């Protein structure tokens, strides 16, 4: 088996979640009378939420906590389900699981949200572990999430593991813990971003990802 276990990012890799995330960000910023276009908020998809909001409230911890709370107020009720699965991704997860691969989810999204989304799309049975951030700001970056996921599965990151993601944070996070990363172009990261980050493999679409992982 070429790679095992395989760790998947969520937003931009399994789900196209831009609509729900961007609307939640706009809702939170409007509370502070800040308007922003959808295009300008695309960078919110991928990195830890607090890091993204910090650009609007540099050095203001109180407002940062308030805006994160407003974001979650919208997201937990509406934004969480304003997403869709990428075409072919559910079938790929099924094939990998049937072939004996251990699959894990590794996301910077709060873990309870990730669990609800995976359950919503009926994908829970494919994942041995769902690892995400904690609400209190713990385990927010990709390296911390991956270390936790590896510990949960009882594996060493450098021993046959693979990260699959769509942003530089996935590539850099995987490399920091000693794991290679296959990057996908159908998500929110550009080819330039992913190459610059040092992606070990770049897959243009789900079909290309399947070919890389399964060979068919």
d(CA 203, CA 208): 5
d(CA 116, CA 127): 13
H-type alpha helices, the chain: 18-30, 49-53, 61-75, 89-98, 111-120, 142-153, 168-176, 191-197, 206-213
CB 6 within 8 A of CB 103: yes
Cβ-Cβ contacts under 8 Å for 165 (sequence gap 6 or more): 8, 9, 12, 13, 142, 171, 174, 181, 183, 184, 187
d(CA 64, CA 184): 31
Asked about 9 being catalytic, the answer comes back as: yes
Phi-psi domain of 12 (left: phi exceeds 0; alpha: psi -120 through 50; beta: other): left
Active site members: 9
């Amino acid at each position: 088996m070429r790679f095992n276990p395989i760790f998947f990012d969520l937003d931009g890799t399994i789900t196209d979640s831009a609509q729900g995330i961007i609307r939640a960000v706009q809702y939170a910023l409007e509370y502070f009378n800040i308007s922003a276009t959808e295009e300008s908020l695309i960078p919110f998809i991928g990195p830890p939420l607090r890091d993204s909001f910090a650009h609007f409230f540099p050095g203001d911890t109180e407002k940062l906590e308030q805006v994160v709370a407003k974001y979650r107020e919208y997201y937990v009720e509406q934004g969480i389900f304003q997403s869709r699965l990428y075409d072919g991704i559910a079938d790929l997860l099924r094939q990998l699981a049937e072939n004996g691969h251990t699959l894990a989810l590794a996301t910077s999204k709060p873990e309870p949200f990730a669990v609800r989304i995976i359950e919503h799309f009926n994908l829970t049975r494919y994942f041995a572990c769902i690892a995400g951030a904690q609400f209190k700001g713990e385990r927010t970056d990709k390296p911390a999430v991956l270390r936790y996921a590896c510990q949960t599965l009882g594996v060493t990151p450098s021993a046959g593991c693979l990260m699959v993601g769509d942003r530089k944070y996935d590539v850099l996070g995987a490399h920091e813990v000693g794991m290679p990363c296959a990057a996908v172009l159908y998500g929110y990261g550009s080819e330039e971003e992913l190459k610059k980050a040092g992606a070990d493999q770049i897959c243009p679409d789900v079909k290309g990802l399947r070919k890389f992982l399964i060979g068919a």
